[in-house]
Amino acid sequence: TPLSHIRNFSIVAHIDHGKSTLADRLIQSTHTVADRDMKEQMLDAMDIERERGITIKANTVRIDYVADNGEAYVLNLIDTPGHVDFAYEVSRSMRAVEGSLLVVDSTQGVEAQTLANVYQAIDADHEIVPILNKIDLPAADCDRVAEQIEDVIGIDASGAIRVSAKTGVGIKETLEAIVHRLPAPKGEEDADLKAMLVDSWYDSYLGVIVLVRIIDGRLKKGERIRFVSNGTIHHVDRIGVFRPQMQVVDSLGPGEIGFLTASIKQVRDTRVGDTVTHEKKIVKPLPGFKPSQPVVFCGLFPVDSSQFEDLRDAIDKLALNDASFSFEMETSAALGFGFRCGFLGLLHLEVIRDRIEREYDIDLITTAPSVVYRIFMRDGAMQELHNPADMPDLSVVDHLEEPRIKATILVPDEYLGDVLKLCQDRRGVQQDLTYAGSRAMVVYDLPLNEVVFDFYDRLKSVTKGYASFDYQMTGYQTDNLVKMSVLVNDEPVDALSMMVHRDRAEMRGRAMVEKLKDLIPRHMFKIPIQAAIGGKVIARETLSAMRKDVTAKCYGGDATRKRKLLDKQKAGKKKMRQFGKVEIPQEAFISALKMD
Ligand code: GDP
Ligand code: MG
C-alpha cells in the first residue's frame, strides 16, 4: 500500500465512554471480521480486562476500507491502555500513529482520563477528530459537550462527529473522517530499516510477539535484526498483521504496523519504545526511550505457607508477559516466605494480585503498598527504599526524599469542598482551580505515598462516584519522614511497619492500634498493641483477655449450633497467621492500614 493510502490512529477516551464499542463497530462495519465471528470487545483479550472494562495491553487491528471516493485505504488502529498506571505505554503507542479519535460520552462530558489521554495525543502531534458518543441516549447533550471540549481541552470541536457506537449512527462519517482528516504517515522506502517497538507480549506457541511500526525501510521474513538499546540480534521467523487475528505477510514497509516473531523467549528481552534495525545498520535511535519503572511496592505472601512454591511459579509465569512487574524473594519474621513486588501503580498491583488469586488459586496476604523512597546517607551515598522494613538506622541517615505527583480531579461543584478537604488532609498543595460549566477542575501537588493506599476509594465515596482522577509523577522532594513500627504482644510485626510523615505519625499510630484492637480476636491473655518510632511508643491499646470458652454460651443444648460455631472458627483460622503467641487475621493487614 502506498503511504498516501495508509492511516494510523488510536482512540482516546475516559473509561466507559465507548472506546471498545467504537472499535468493534469500525471492525464490523468494514467487514474486517465476518459477522458470525464478531463478539463484543474484540480487542480486549484478557478476561480480567473485560470484567473491569479496561484495556491493559495495547491492541491493534488492520482494517481495509474503500472510501466514498472509490479508493482503498488501510487503517491501522492501535488501542491504547486507558489507565494512568500505563501512561508510559500510552505515550509510546501514541508515537506510533499520526492521529486520534477523541471519544467523549455526550451524556457525561470531559473527564480526568479524557484530559490525560488527549494531552498525550497532543504531545505526539496528533491530528484529533472529536467524537461525541452515545447520542442514542436521551441525556445526550452534544452542544454542551462540544463547548466543553473547546473550553477545557482547547481544541476545535466544530467538526465533532455525533456517533452512537451502539446503534452504528455516525460510523460511516467516522471512517471518512479518518481518511480525509488524519494525515498519511511519512517514511522512506529506500532508507535503512528503522522501526519502533510499540509493544510485546508472550504467546505460548510463538514465543514473544513484537508489535512494530515501520518508520523507514522494509522488514522481511528471514532477516536478522538488532534492538538498538541492548544490541541483541535476532533472526526474524515470522511477520504479519492483525485483523485482529494474526495473518502472515511477506514484509512490512514504511508507515505499516504489524508484528514479528524471532524466537525471543522473554518479554524482558524487548523494550517498549526501542528502535529496531537490520543487524549491521547504524541508525539514530528514536527519541525519548526510557524503560518503565515500578513506583509502588508491596509484599505478597501465601496465607498457607505450603503454597510458597505455587506462588513462585505463578509470579514467574506472570512476569514472562509483563516486563514492568518486578519481584524478588522476601522473608518476613511475621509472614514467612514471600515476594516483594514492584508495580507501575495501584491498578497494576490489583490486577496482578487478582490474577494470582483467581487463575492460580492462591490466597494471598498483601502488605501495605509503599512507594520508593530515596535515602541519603550521612556518607553521601543514596539508596532506594522499597520496603519500610529495610529502613536503616537513623544515625546513618542524613535525609529522605519521597515521590510527588500532580493530580488532576474533575468534580461537580457541590462536592468540591469535600475534595479540597481530602487533598488537604493528604498533605496536598493546591496548584490550580478552574470551572467548566458546573464542574470544577482542581490540580494538586500530592505525595504519592498519601495516594497509594485508599485515596481513590475515598475520593469516590466523598463524591458519590462523580469525581474523576488522574495523576502523573513529578519528582522527589525532601520531607520529614519516619518509620513507624507496630508491636503486638511486644513482638514487632514487620509487615505492618510503614513510612509516615512525622507530623502525622501520632494520628496514624493511634488509628492503627485502635483498629488492630478491633481486628485481633481476644486470646486467653492480655495483649498490648503499640505503635512506635525508633524505641519510642507513640500509641498504645490493650486487648483484654477472653474470659470463657466461646462455645460455653451455647449451653451445650444445640449441637448443630455449636458445630457451626466451631466450623466458622476453623474457616476463620485458615486466614489467620501466628505472631509469637498471637493470631492475627489476614484482613487486619489491609484494614489496619486504611485511613479514615
Ligand atoms: P470503554 O471503557 O471506553 O472501552 O467503553 P466501552 O466500549 O466498554 O463502553 C462502556 C459502556 O457504554 C458499555 O456498556 C457499552 O455498551 C456502552 N456504550 C458504548 N457506546 C454506546 C452508545 O453509543 N450508546 C449507548 N447507549 N451505550 C454505549
Ligand atoms: Mg474498553
Q: Does ipTM exceed 0.90? A: yes
Rounded distance from Cα 26 to ligand 1 centre (Å): 14
With cell 478537604, the residue in question is: 421
Task: Pick the residue whose CA is nearest to atom 17 on ligand 1.
Answer: 18
Residue 278, SS3 per DSSP: strand
Cβ of residue 19 lying under 6 Å from some atom of ligand 1: yes
* Alpha carbon distance 376, 383 (integer Å): 7
Residue 228: burial class (beta carbons within 10 Å; 0-12, 13-18, 19+): buried
Cβ of residue 269 lying under 6 Å from some atom of ligand 1: no
Q: Which of 14, 16, 80 to mutate to test the pocket of ligand 1 (most atoms within 8 A of CB)?
A: 16
Is the pLDDT higher at 439 or at 372?
372
Rounded distance from Cα 20 to ligand 2 centre (Å): 4
CB 373 within 8 A of CB 384: yes
Model confidence at 52, pLDDT cuts 50, 70, 90, reads very low
488-499 burial, b if ≥16 CB within 10 A, otherwise e?
A: bbeebbbbbbbb
Rounded distance from Cα 354 to ligand 2 centre (Å): 19
What pLDDT does 358 receive? 86
Cβ of residue 575 lying under 6 Å from some atom of ligand 1: no
What pLDDT does 293 receive? 76
When pLDDT is averaged across residues 135-150 and rounded to a whole number, the result is 96
379-398 burial, b if ≥16 CB within 10 A, otherwise e?
A: eeeeeebbbbbebeeeeeee
Cβ of residue 12 lying under 6 Å from some atom of ligand 1: no
- Maximum average pLDDT range among 288-292, 456-460, 570-574: 456-460
Strand duo 99-105 + 72-79: pairing: unpaired
What pLDDT does 594 receive? 58
Lowest mean pLDDT across 72-76, 451-455, 530-534, 591-595: 591-595
493-514 pLDDT, tens digit each: 888 888 999 998 998 899 889 9
* Alpha carbon distance 256, 179 (integer Å): 15
Return the ligand number nearest the Cα of 138: 1
Predicted model pTM: 0.74
Cβ of residue 166 lying under 6 Å from some atom of ligand 1: yes
What pLDDT does 485 receive? 92
Lowest mean pLDDT across 54-63, 117-126, 141-150, 575-584: 54-63
Lowest mean pLDDT across 198-212, 279-293, 388-402: 279-293
Binding-site residue ranges for GTP: 16-21, 133-136
When pLDDT is averaged across residues 152-176 and rounded to a whole number, the result is 96
Which atom of ligand 1 lies at the shortest distance from residue 133's CA?
A: 23
Q: What percent of the chain clears pLDDT 70, i.e. is strictly above it?
A: 87
Rounded distance from Cα 77 to ligand 1 centre (Å): 18
Rounded distance from Cα 28 to ligand 1 centre (Å): 16
69-93 burial, b if ≥16 CB within 10 A, otherwise e?
A: eeeebbbbbbbbbbbbbbbbbbbbb
In order of 3, 216, 508, the CA distances from 189 in angstroms are: 10, 6, 62
Which atom of ligand 1 lies at the shortest distance from residue 17's CA?
A: 3
79-98 pLDDT, tens digit each: 776 666 666 777 778 899 99
Cβ of residue 15 lying under 6 Å from some atom of ligand 1: yes
Task: Pick the residue whose CA is nearest to atom 24 on ligand 1.
Answer: 134
Cβ of residue 17 lying under 6 Å from some atom of ligand 1: yes
What pLDDT does 50 receive? 46
Return the ligand number nearest the Cα of 24: 1
Q: What percent of the chain clears pLDDT 90, i.e. is strictly above it?
A: 51
CB 435 within 8 A of CB 400: no
Rounded distance from Cα 453 to ligand 1 centre (Å): 29
Q: Which of 15, 21, 118 to mutate to test the pocket of ligand 1 (most atoms within 8 A of CB)?
A: 21
What pLDDT does 457 receive? 78
In order of 29, 75, 210, 238, the CA distances from 242 in angstroms are: 17, 11, 12, 13
What pLDDT does 49 receive? 46
Lowest mean pLDDT across 52-66, 202-216, 569-583: 569-583
CB 207 within 8 A of CB 27: no
Predicted confidence (pLDDT) at residue 522 exceeds the cutoff of 60: yes
- HSE of 262 in the Cβ direction (CA atoms, 13 Å)? 24
Q: For residue 490, what is its C-alpha cell?
A: 511486644
